[in-house]
Amino acid sequence: MILTRPFLALTALLLSGGAVAQTAPAPVQMPATPRAATVPADPALWVVKDRDTTVYLFGTIHALKPHLGWFDSAVKKAFDASGQLILEIPLPDPATAQSVMLPLATDTSGVPLTQKLNAGDRAAYAAAMTKLGIPPAAVEKFEPWFVAVTLSQLALQKAGFSAADGAEATLTAAATAAGKPITGLETLQQQLGYFHALSQADQIAFLVSSVRDIDKFDGMINAMLDRWKAGDAEGLSALMNEDLTSQPNLYRILLVERNKRWAAWVAERMKKPGTVFIAVGAGHLAGRDSVQVQLAKRHLKAVRIRY
């Protein structure tokens, strides 16, 4: 749940050199099935206000299961009242995204990925790759961070979650239809650069952690979804950021420092009139280092909207 919605599609693009790509069979005409009922969801929403400025803060899950009824009630009202949508990053076109990702994901050291793992971790890594149907040879030339995120994203997909059903996809479609401008707090280059700049030791620790969690992934992601639907921001944050807290550099770079920069962005935006809707990963909006905590240090109060 670390990267935004472009990642699943880009993972497929980068791994489509032959080893992972499959030839799809011809479609079979199937009888129409009844549309699944909408499952109600009430994820957390906050607002920061002064006399002439309103900033909504909405915590997202970048990939979701279909038929969740979250884009209604207070969330829809806040979005409709906003003149601009702010995401972590806007979705780039696939060609541009691949041109940004490939240099950052490719390992130029010449050392195959499996040789960077110790003997015990290699066995667990091979088992995780087999579970997800990825031949290890397909990713030997990629950096450990990229493979770590790829494993998590593919496990997410296997568990029935889709970026196309994610909050950002829905919000982007709604903003585009309404003619609302869409901008980002970061660029794709910046976001991927955080991973690329990690030391090899930190990248390998990240990969090993992802491998060890693969068998319990389904339970973890569904528990996160339940907390998101219930608006349990603190419970969701504890689950989302559990692995990061055991990796101090990752926690600092991916969470704390970004939250500080985003709080600075909000503080600057509060100097101008208008209403904006900010949607970022829900893990950034709870916990001891959340965006709201950083805002409080700037004497700005984020108030939870109860609905």
Q: What is the pLDDT of residues 177-219, one digit of tens each?
A: 999 999 999 999 999 999 999 999 999 999 999 999 898 889 9
Mean pLDDT in residue range 32-45: 78
Q: Which two tokens stand for residue 4?
A: 């935004």
pLDDT in tens, 127-149: 999 999 999 899 999 999 999 99
Q: How many residues does the chain have?
A: 307
Distance between CA atoms of residues 39 and 31, nearest Å: 24
Distance between CA atoms of residues 45 and 271, nearest Å: 22
How much of the chain exceeds pLDDT 90, in percent?
Answer: 72
Q: Which two tokens stand for residue 112?
A: 């195959």
Distance between CA atoms of residues 207 and 129, nearest Å: 12
pLDDT in tens, 243-263: 666 788 888 998 999 999 999
Q: H-type helices in the chain, by residue range?
A: 6-14, 73-81, 94-105, 119-132, 144-158, 167-178, 188-196, 200-212, 217-230, 233-240, 242-245, 248-251, 257-269, 291-296
Mean pLDDT in residue range 97-124: 94
- 80 half-sphere exposure, CB direction, 13 A CA radius: 7
More confident residue, 229 or 27: 229
Does 98 score more than 50 pLDDT? yes
Mean pLDDT in residue range 29-35: 48
Q: Is the dihedral of CA 92, 294, 255, 229 positive or negative?
A: negative
SS3 (DSSP) at 3: coil
pTM of the complete model? 0.88
| Model pLDDT, residue 11 | 47
Which of the four pLDDT bands, split at 50, 70 and 90, describes residue 268? very high
Q: Measured between alpha carbons, how far is residue 35 from residues 38, 159, 195 in Å?
A: 9, 20, 40
Report the candidate in 14, 266, 252 with the shortest Cα–Cα distance to residue 134: 14
Which of the four pLDDT bands, split at 50, 70 and 90, describes residue 18? very low
In the 3-class helix/strand/coil scheme, how is 190-253 assigned residue by residue? Answer: HHHHHHHCCCHHHHHHHHHHHHHCHHHHHHHHHHHHHHHHHCCHHHHHHHHCHHHHCCHHHHHH
| Model pLDDT, residue 49 | 98
Does 233 score more than 80 pLDDT? yes
Q: H-type helices in 241-300, by residue range?
A: 242-245, 248-251, 257-269, 291-296
